[in-house]
Each structure stands twice: as C-alpha cells, then as structure tokens.
Structure 1
Amino acid sequence: MAGNCSWEAHATNRNKVCPGASEAPELYGRGFLTIEPITALPPPAVMNYITLLLCLGGLVGNGLVLWFFGFSIKRTPFSVYFLHLASADGAYLFSKAVFSLLNAGGFLGSFADYVRGVCRVLGLCAFVAGVSLLPAISTERCASVVFPAWYWRRRPQRLSAVVCALLWLLSLLVTAVHNYFCAFLSGEASSAGACKHTDIFLGILLFLVFCPLMVLPCLALVLHVECRGRRRQRSAKLNHVVLAMVSVFLVSSIYLGIDWFLFWVFRIPAPFPEYVTDLCICINSSAKPIVYFLAGRDKSQRLWEPLRVVFQRALRDGAESAEAGGSTPNTVTMEMQSPTGNAS
C-alpha cells in the first residue's frame, strides 16, 4: 500500500500523507468511524453541502416525530421506542450537520478542531444508541405477535422506558471507553493496542451482535404472519414500519460494515471513502420519518391528512390485542381516533 495516499481531513494545512506499508496500520487504527480511507483525491467539496442539506432535512423530520410522538399522540410502548430513536437520529444528524458546515466553510484553528472532535464523539454515541434500539423494537414487536396473550396481559408497563434508558447508558459507556483509548490517549504509544481492541469490540457489538438481534426477530415475525395466514396481522401498519426500518439500516450500513470487516479481518484498507459511509448513515437517520409517513398514509382518504393522524396510524396495532382472549388490553392499547371520528 506504499503507493496510496491519504488526505488529512482535519489538519489545518490539509497535508497529503503517503504512508509506507508499515505505517498504514497506524493510519487506519484511529478509531471506529474515524478511519480515514485511502483516496487519490480529497473529498469533493460538494459532498459537504449534500450532507448538510440531508442532515437539515432529517432534523426537520425527526423534530416532527419528537413533537407528535412526545406531545400529540397517546404514549405507547412503540412510540416510546420511536421517540428515543428519533432523539438518537437527531443527535447524529446534528453532529454531522455541524461537522459538514465547518468543512464547507473552511473553518480552521484549534476551536474548529475541538468542535469537530465533540461532533465525532456525539455522533458515535448517537449512532450506537440508534443501532441498539432497533433490536429492542424488532424483538418486542415479534413478541407481541408470536406471544400476544403474554404481551397484552403480563408485559411490564414501563419496560420500554427501562430498556431505552439501559441502551442509552450502554452507548454512553461504550463511547466513553472508545474515546478514552482512541482520542484521549492517542498520543501515547501504549494506547494503539487498546484502541485497536476497543475498535474491534465496537464493530463486533454493532455488526455481529446488534444486527442478528434485529434481523432474527424480523424473520420470525414474517414467518409467523405468513405461515398463519392472518390478514389482520398482515395489515398491521407497525409490522411494515419495523421491517422497513431494519431494511433501511441494513442497506445503508453495508458500506461501513464492509470497511470494518475488510480492515480488521484481512487488514485491507477501507475501500469506500469516509464521506460515502457517512452519507449512507445520514440517509438511514433521515429516512425513518419518511417510513412512518408512508406506512401511516391512507390512500383511500383525502390527499392531505394531519401528520398526527398519519403518524398515529403508522403505529396501529389492533390485530394482536384482539387475540389476547378478547380482553381489554392494558396501557399499551392504542385508540386510533382522528379529529372527525375513528380512523379506519
């Protein structure tokens, strides 16, 4: 790899570095989501503007989700999950928007570098939190369909809030440990091995633990619904929302997973530029409000509907409650009421 070059994206002089074969591992061992790809040219300036516009649009969408799910829609277990998921996506998009704005404006100096470092830490924490919430959502949705009697009668009422709090603590802990070894101790020679092991652990946690935990419940959900052939379950909007969110994440994070797998397993430098993987993650964080809107939109109704009604319909989950022995569900029951009457 001696003939390849890397651009120092955050250096004040933007010097071009051409590492030798022995120097490449150190260049790529700077930490998860901070690995600078080898490329012949610096990132195109237009990518900063594209990322910035995408992040701003995603911030608006996630802001609407936070408003409606937090204040306008009756609180349900899945609305709690989506509320925290929108918070994680909004935090990540905000960090990337600030990062792209600094790069697009050409802001240099120690303060700009400090802000970039804070944005990287915030973005990593929000990314880990968002990824960890998807397995919880898919697992609980699978349990509500496969075991409806237990879910509607014996499920702890505050399970969603407790799970979200634990996942946020996990993301904070993982980010703190990673930042300590890969950033705070970056100047010490002994920290290289610790940063490497921390990076490997973080990649295993995201791609080999969280991804199977979100995919397997979705497969079980699809098999259960299709094999039982229940139309009411197939028409549940929430099934489509969960499957779409997991699918969008898997498609958008495949480039980051390939980069991590090739480097740490085969010691092959990241084949995709950093701005490509960042753009894909921004698409994943910005797409969830669109998923809620498309799933909750009723084609038989008028063209324009209040967003509150659309988002509320996206969480519609009445099929499983009817299977729990005909009893009235507990606080997880959703009453789909529109301003003019019952929503169909």
Structure 2
Amino acid sequence: MAGNCSWETHPDRNKMCPGVSEAPELYSRGFLTIEQMALLPAPAVMDYIFLLLCLCGLLGNGLVLWFFGFSIKRTPFSIYFLHLAGADGAYLLSKAVLSLLHAGGVPGPPADYVRGVARMAGLCAFVAGVSLLPAVSAERCACVVFPAWYRRRRPRRLSAVVCALLWLLSVLATAVHSYFCVFLGRRAAGPACRHTDIALGALLFLLFCPLMVLPCLALVLHVECRARRRQRSAKLNHVVLAVVAVFLVSSIYLGIDWFLFWAFRIPAPFPEYVTDLCICINSGAKPLVYFLAGRDKSQRLWEPLRVVFQRALRDGAEAEPAGATPNAGTLEMQCPPGNAS
C-alpha cells in the first residue's frame, strides 16, 4: 500500500503521495496507526478550532475535577466521573499541544519530541476514557437492577480499584503500541505494528463498546418498567446513558475507519481532522451533559455549579420538594431502595 502524505511531517503541503515502491510511512490516525494511500491536509483554521474546543473542554473538565475532587462528597460514582474528567482533560491537553505546535510551525527535534510525548499521552488518555465507560455503565446497571444485592455485596473500594486497574491497562496498551509503531521506526511497517493496531482497535471497538452498550440497554429496559409503574427515574441514569451515547455518536467515524481498513483494506473515508474533531467534542461534552442533567428549571437562573453537578449525579430515588435547594454537603448518590426493582 502506498505511503502517507502527512502534512505534519512534510513542510510542502502540496507534496504528492509516494509510489508503492517507496517504504510506507506510518502516522497516527485518531491514535491508531493506519497506512494511508492519501491524506488531505486539514484547513489551517482547524488548528484554531481545535484550540478553542480544547480550551473550553479543559475548563469544563477542570471544574469537574475541582468539584468532584474537593467540594463534593466522594461517592462510588463520583470516583468514576472524576477519572473520566482526568482522562478527557489529558486528551484535550495533548491535542491542544499538537494543534499549537502545528499552528505555530515549530520545527526542530525538541518540537518533535514534544509531539511524540503528546501523542502517547493522548493515546493513554483516550484508552482510559473509553475503558472507564463500560465500568461506570456496568456498575450503574447493577446498582439499579439489583439494588439489594449491590448494597450488601459491593466491596467498599471497588471504584478506586477498578479505575486504577483501567489506568494500568491503558498505560500498558500505550507502551506496547508505542514500542512497535513508534520507537521501532520504519520497521513498524511490519506485521508487529499491524497486529498491535488490530489488537488495540479490537479492544476499543469490539470489547469496550459492547460492554458499555449492553448494561445501558438493561438500564433502559429497567427504567422503562419503572416509568410504567410511575416511579421517578434518577438523573444519574440519564447522565450515564447520555455520556455513552455521546461517545458512540462521536467515535463512530473512527470505528468505521478502523473497520474498513483492517477488514477490507479500504482507505479511511474520513479526513483525520474529522475524527479528531469528533473525539475532542466527546471529551469536552461530558461537563455540559452534567450541567444540563443537573440544571433545575424551577431554581434561579444562576445556581452554584457545585449544586448543579451534585444534583446531576444524585440517584433521584427520593423526590425533591419543588423549589427546594439541595444541601450540597449532604446529598449522596445511593442506589434505589430494594423494593424499587
């Protein structure tokens, strides 16, 4: 397959693609290495769009990290959202660094080193963010569908242990992928890098995606049954479903690219900046989901963000009195009563 015409590695943006006889070059498409027959350069304005999206997303995820880490009482589900905000913030920061270096046209080995570190950090953060979604959706499904069993059998530090293991998995996957597809240089064009890419893509799209979708389907069915019995649905259920839905919609382009290339050897139909844009939107949209879910229309226009975020992650089993402002120090995210299932 012909090599890649990456405008990040060639100063001449009109450079034609090399012939099939030349050694193929590898580049990171959505942090998954793919050999491309051609690559359309992104418009120059895309760098500034990425910077704007990354700054807005970093601000939102920074607020989530502050409130969930220091201002809101720590609960099992807040730990997952705290780590999700950390993963999204790390990805947005790495993408902002890449966009800033490209927009400024910074040359030289130091800039190349920073680009490499930013790409590896972004890959680790992306894998961590994707792996955390099945964990939070599965735990929420168990909490809602089997509340009595969940309250009695759940280990106390399960959320922290799961998050630590998922971060460790992300670091190991990034290290293996970077070794075979980055540090080995042109030798990465061999089977080792391709097999690593296939394994990483299968981990993301064939394992993690079904593991986050199936608990959400069970949660939707259970919520629908409760709605028929006129029981109030928790805001936290809506938050989990919305976060998973945003990821699936925004990452579908990257999944299609990966599947078409490795299954049928068809070049990616979408430009790289389109998939990167969707991933940035996914990383920056979660704080907006928390805000919209926790916003109380009956309250005054400007509520403290701490109260809004805390209300978004409240279970909702206990109905709030109309017009009452929840006590930010006493709200807890608990499972529904056992008789609600």
SS in 1 for 2:89: helix
The runs of 5 or more residues in structure 2 that have no matched partner are 319-325, 333-341
In the alignment, structure 1 residue 128 sits paired with structure 2 residue 118: no
The amino acid across from 2:55 in the alignment is L
Counterpart CA distance in 1 for 2:46 and 2:203 is: 29
The answer (yes or no) to whether the contact 2:17–2:37 under 8 Å persists in 1 is no
Counterpart CA distance in 2 for 1:167 and 1:39 is: 35
Deviation of 1:97 after TM superposition, in Å, equals 0.3
| 1:4-32 CA-partner distances (Å, limit 9, x unpaired) | 972342245557242335669x3467674
Counterpart CA distance in 2 for 1:342 and 1:195 is: 49
The answer (yes or no) to whether the contact 1:39–1:273 under 8 Å persists in 2 is no
In the alignment, structure 1 residue 246 sits paired with structure 2 residue 244: yes
The answer (yes or no) to whether the contact 1:29–1:196 under 8 Å persists in 2 is no
| 1:62-99 CA-partner distances (Å, limit 9, x unpaired) | 00000000000010111000000000000000000000
Q: In the alignment, which residue of structure 2 is the partner of 1:324?
A: none
The answer (yes or no) to whether the contact 1:99–1:116 under 8 Å persists in 2 is yes
In the alignment, structure 1 residue 87 sits paired with structure 2 residue 86: yes
The answer (yes or no) to whether the contact 1:37–1:274 under 8 Å persists in 2 is no
Counterpart CA distance in 2 for 1:30 and 1:282 is: 16
Counterpart CA distance in 2 for 1:71 and 1:267 is: 49
- 1:257 equivalent among 240, 255, 258: 255
Deviation of 1:152 after TM superposition, in Å, equals 1.9
The answer (yes or no) to whether the contact 2:72–2:328 under 8 Å persists in 1 is no
Q: In the alignment, which residue of structure 2 is the partner of 1:106?
A: 105
Matches within 5 A, 1:1-40: 6-11=5-10, 16-21=15-20, 26-27=24-25, 32-35=31-34, 39=38
Matches within 5 A, 1:46-125: 46-125=45-124
Counterpart CA distance in 2 for 1:83 and 1:40 is: 36
Q: In the alignment, which residue of structure 2 is the partner of 1:42?
A: 41
Q: In the alignment, which residue of structure 2 is the partner of 1:282?
A: 280
Identity of aligned residues (%): 77
| 1:200-248 CA-partner distances (Å, limit 9, x unpaired) | 00000000000000000000000112124344452x1001100000000
| 1:159-182 CA-partner distances (Å, limit 9, x unpaired) | 000000000000000000000000
Q: In the alignment, which residue of structure 2 is the partner of 1:292?
A: 290
| 1:263-289 CA-partner distances (Å, limit 9, x unpaired) | 111101111111111110000000000
The amino acid across from 1:78 in the alignment is F
SS in 1 for 2:270: coil
The answer (yes or no) to whether the contact 1:121–1:179 under 8 Å persists in 2 is yes
The answer (yes or no) to whether the contact 1:38–1:270 under 8 Å persists in 2 is no
The answer (yes or no) to whether the contact 1:7–1:17 under 8 Å persists in 2 is no
Counterpart CA distance in 2 for 1:295 and 1:233 is: 15
Counterpart CA distance in 2 for 1:233 and 1:139 is: 21
The amino acid across from 1:223 in the alignment is L
The amino acid across from 1:114 in the alignment is Y
The answer (yes or no) to whether the contact 1:125–1:175 under 8 Å persists in 2 is yes
| 1:40-82 CA-partner distances (Å, limit 9, x unpaired) | 7421110000001100000000000000000000101110000
The amino acid across from 1:52 in the alignment is L
1:28–1:184 CA distance, 2 compared to 1 (3 A): closer
The answer (yes or no) to whether the contact 2:145–2:219 under 8 Å persists in 1 is yes
Counterpart CA distance in 1 for 2:197 and 2:103 is: 28
Counterpart CA distance in 2 for 1:168 and 1:298 is: 34
Counterpart CA distance in 2 for 1:39 and 1:56 is: 30
The TM-score normalised by the length of structure 2 is 0.88
Aligned residues: 325
Counterpart CA distance in 1 for 2:28 and 2:284 is: 27
1:19–1:319 CA distance, 2 compared to 1 (3 A): same
What's the Cα RMSD here?
2.6
SS in 2 for 1:271: coil
Matches within 5 A, 1:302-341: 302-319=300-317, 337-338=327-328
Counterpart CA distance in 2 for 1:182 and 1:296 is: 43
SS in 2 for 1:187: helix
